[in-house]
Amino acid sequence: MGRVLVVRGGVPLRGELRVLPAKNSALKLMAASLLTDEPVVLEEVPRLRDIDVMLELLGHLGTRHAWEGRTLHLHTPEIRSTQAPFELVSKMRASFNLLGALAARAGEGTVPLPGGCTFAERPVDQHIKALRALGFEVVAQVTEGGMAYTARRVGPASGRVVYDLPTLGGTEQALLAAALGGEAVLVNTPQEPEIVDLCRFLVRMGVEIEGIGSGILHIRGRPRLRGVRYRVIPDRIEAGTYLLAAAATRGSITLTHVEPFHMDALLEKLRQSGHRITTGRDWVRLEAVPDPQPFNLEAREYPGFVTDLQPPATAYLCTVPGTSLVSDRIYPDRFTHAGELARMGANITLKDRTLIIQGRPLSGAAVEARDIRAGGSLIIAALAAEGETHIAGLHHIERGYEDVENRLRSLGAQVGLQQPELALAAD
């Protein structure tokens, strides 16, 4: 059995916290560093397990790296291998975006189907559609580790991609594939801050991109891209999780180094619930009220309510008296947290892909996080619950939340780690 996060609930969170950089953006910028043979410096990179996995993957492909505090130095003078190993790709979905970058830089790349969180089916059909529309030859083959895809560049990466639905990964794949000498028009693209961040990063490298932040992107690549120094955006998911934790415990929190406009949908819901929200250029303050109101939410594309905050918001609503309805149009079955919240006394039922929540006090219990954001959900519930909660599956939580134990302690939470007991040696 692995380590367990032990939380004694019932203590309102209070204080100030500096929001850390966005993992979901940093991973894509790291993949984009493969597009140049010059050094790339990323400022404000989180120290998380997923970052370590990506660094190991990049190292296998030819990237050298060095840390300087939270600054990450990357340099890929040449591609040493065009095949990403299954044992690393299987740990993280974001690794599949290496396919377009490898094919653009080295002429071809092979990447197995990705792993990562398993809360719902997450196909790669829009990735493959985009690459083929840009002129890449893409073939699938069965390997010892399962299905893998090989993409080959047979000419300039040019074409028009009309996505069936706004897709983060499929859009990022096409951006990387077209950046080196290609030209592409991408239609029905998402407007998430992480897409905007990747576009701005590529522009700094020399790519021309029109329509950044809109549903249509026009990319004109360059035959050779330059190295850059770039600061990663703040993590809106971490920020939202701590805001919801403060609301669930009826506390007061100030977040700094944050982009408030990235969280408009969440902040509006918290205001709707009755909490006092104030914002500045790079900070957000929440002062919770003792008797918040319930609300309904549907997770959807940006600028709507982000799917990664649906599980944490669900946990918060379990503490709010009254009826709330929660659905998710991005991942309609993303409810692995619901059963674990029920263990803590939550009155929560699933009907027709919608959670029906009757808020009431929660109690401590032994629960398990089955993916990153389900872990964030259970932490929020544990902080609000009476008694002690033991949260297993800490390795999932650590993929998305850095140093969560100490960051919670800095806000007054009573948390600790329980190490696994070693088996006694036989006589």
Q: How far apart are CA 113 and CA 90, in angstroms?
A: 7
With cut-offs at 50, 70 and 90, classify the pLDDT of residue 422: low
- What local confidence, expressed as pLDDT, does residue 1 receive? 58
126 close to 163: Cβ distance less than 8 angstroms: yes
So what's the pLDDT on residue 426? 44
How many residues would you count in the chain? 427
Q: Which residues pair with 153 in a beta bridge?
A: 136
User: Where is 294: in which H helix or E strand?
Assistant: none
- Predicted TM-score (pTM) of this structure: 0.94
Q: What is the pLDDT of residue 143?
A: 74
Tell me: cis bond preceding 303? Omega within 30 of 0 counts: yes
What pLDDT sits at residue 221?
98
pLDDT digits (tens, 9 = 90+) for 120-163: 445 899 999 999 999 999 999 887 767 899 999 998 899 999 99
Q: How many CB atoms lie under 10 A from the CB of residue 203?
A: 14
Specify the range with the lowest mean pLDDT, choosing from 82-86, 209-213, 274-278. Answer: 82-86
93: confidence class by pLDDT, cuts 50, 70, 90: low
Comparing CA positions, the residue from 299, 316, 312 lying closest to residue 357 is 316
What is the residue-wise DSSP string for 4-56?
EEEEE-----EEEEEPPBPHHHHHHHHHHGGG-SS-EEEES----HHHHHHHH
- Where helices occur in 258-322 by DSSP H, the ranges are 264-272, 310-317
User: CA nearest 53: which of 80, 85, 19, 77?
Assistant: 85
The predicted model gives 369-388 an average pLDDT of 97
pLDDT in tens, 31-70: 999 999 999 999 999 999 999 999 999 999 999 999 999 9
Give the residue numbers annotated as catalytic, written as ranges.
117
The set of residues, in sequence order, having a beta carbon less than 8 Å from that of 403 and lying 6+ positions away, is: none
What pLDDT is stored for residue 425 in this prediction? Answer: 45
CB 204 within 8 A of CB 228: yes
The rounded distance, in Å, linking the Cα atoms of 269 and 100 is 37
| pLDDT higher than 50, residue 424 | no
Across 294-322, average pLDDT: 97
